[in-house]
Amino acid sequence: MNDFAPASPPGIEHDDHLLAAWAAEVAGNLLVEVRGQGLEGKELKDAGDRAAHELLMELLAQHRPGDAVLSEEGKDDKRRLDADRVWIVDPLDGTREFSEPPREDWAVHVALWTRAAGDLAAGAVAQPGLATTFHTGAPPVVPDSTAARPRIAVSRTRPPAFVEALAAEIGADLVPMGSAGAKVISVVRDVTDAYVHAGGQYEWDSAAPVAVARAAGLHTSRIDGSPLVYNQDDVLLPDLVVCRPELAEPILAFIREHGTD
Ligand SMILES: Nc1ncnc2c1ncn2[C@@H]1O[C@H](COP(=O)(O)O)[C@@H](OP(=O)(O)O)[C@H]1O
Ligand SMILES: [Mg+2]
């Protein structure tokens, strides 16, 4: 059990958007505490992953006892495949960057998939480094782009090789950054204009950020243009494009034409 027992705000019993936002935020606050405890490296990563996972499991069990949960840090209980409601959580996305203070590119992801929607129905991305939680209950408004050239967010440590050629083709600049959530949120915030990833990722890495991005009116898809589908038996969801709507066609056209090799 965590000692961390935040008071729950009104509304969360009936509003999944608010529950997602609150749960992500309190897990983010806990991670800030963990980061201040003097741990380093693997110890800090493991402590963060574990603390945020346990807190989210407790909060979801307490406030949505009938729902299934898929967490990066938990065992995959396949009963979720028959469930009507499944929370898809990444307790600490950007674990590497979390362990490198004062980096801000790490996040907590809480999303809800429902059978009724056949899709994501709510989502929240807490980015404690920005002291902000982005969520579908109050979808962020994407500002007009301030960039003369499009900026493409890519993984700091595993950027897909083809993205350099893509950037050259569409006259874009690459912006390396950790955390899938932070990269999607960078598009929402007009820090970048697109996030392109390939080569490996799981449902929890993108579910909550994609829910927020869609609510904000951004394009979200696989790199072949097909929809991102969640709560699958195999949770591998290795690639995605999140971008301003006007960039979707040039990016997808480049990938259609040149592939990813
Ligand atoms: N090739 C790959 N295979 C598996 N997971 C990957 C991956 N590339 C990125 N990811 C996951 O996607 C998240 C963002 O990665 P990156 O910062 O490199 O863009 C990280 O999540 P976690 O930090 O939750 O493990 C990372 O593990
Ligand atoms: Mg992750």
- Helix (H), strand (E) at residue 71: strand 68-71
Share of the chain above pLDDT 90, in %: 94
CA distance 56 to 90: 9
Q: Is 158 in the pocket of ligand 1 (CB under 6 A)?
A: yes
User: What distance in angstroms lies between residue 259's CA and the mean position of ligand 2's atoms?
Assistant: 25
203 lines ligand 1 (CB under 6 A): no
State how far the Cα of 209 lies from the Cα of 187, in Å rounded to an integer: 10
Tell me which residue has its CA closest to atom 18 in ligand 1: 155
57, 71 in Cβ contact below 8 A?
yes
Residue of 179, 196, 204 best suited for mutating to test ligand 1, as the one with most atoms within 8 Å of CB: 179
Ligand 1 atom showing the smallest separation from residue 94 Cα? 23
Delimit the CATH 3.40.190.80 region(s) of the chain: 151-258
Each residue of 133-143: pLDDT tens digit? 999 999 999 99
Tell me which architecture the domain covering 16-135 has in CATH: 2-Layer Sandwich (3.30)
Mean pLDDT of 42-52: 98
Per-chain mean pLDDT for the chain: 96
- pLDDT tens sequence across 183-206: 999 999 999 999 999 999 999 999
The CATH T-level fold of domain 151-258 is D-Maltodextrin-Binding Protein; domain 2 (3.40.190)
Q: Output the pLDDT for position 138.
A: 97
> What is residue 192's predicted lDDT score, i.e. its pLDDT?
98
State the pLDDT confidence band at 1, using cuts at 50, 70 and 90. very low
Within the chain, which residue ranges are assigned CATH 3.30.540.10?
16-135
Q: What is the pLDDT of residue 82?
A: 98
Residue 98: count other Cβ atoms within 10 Å of its Cβ. 28
Torsion sign over Cα 220, 225, 231, 237: negative
Whole-complex ipTM? 0.98
> What's the pLDDT tens digit per position in 66-117?
999 999 999 999 999 999 999 999 999 999 999 999 999 999 999 999 999 9
Task: Report pTM.
Answer: 0.97
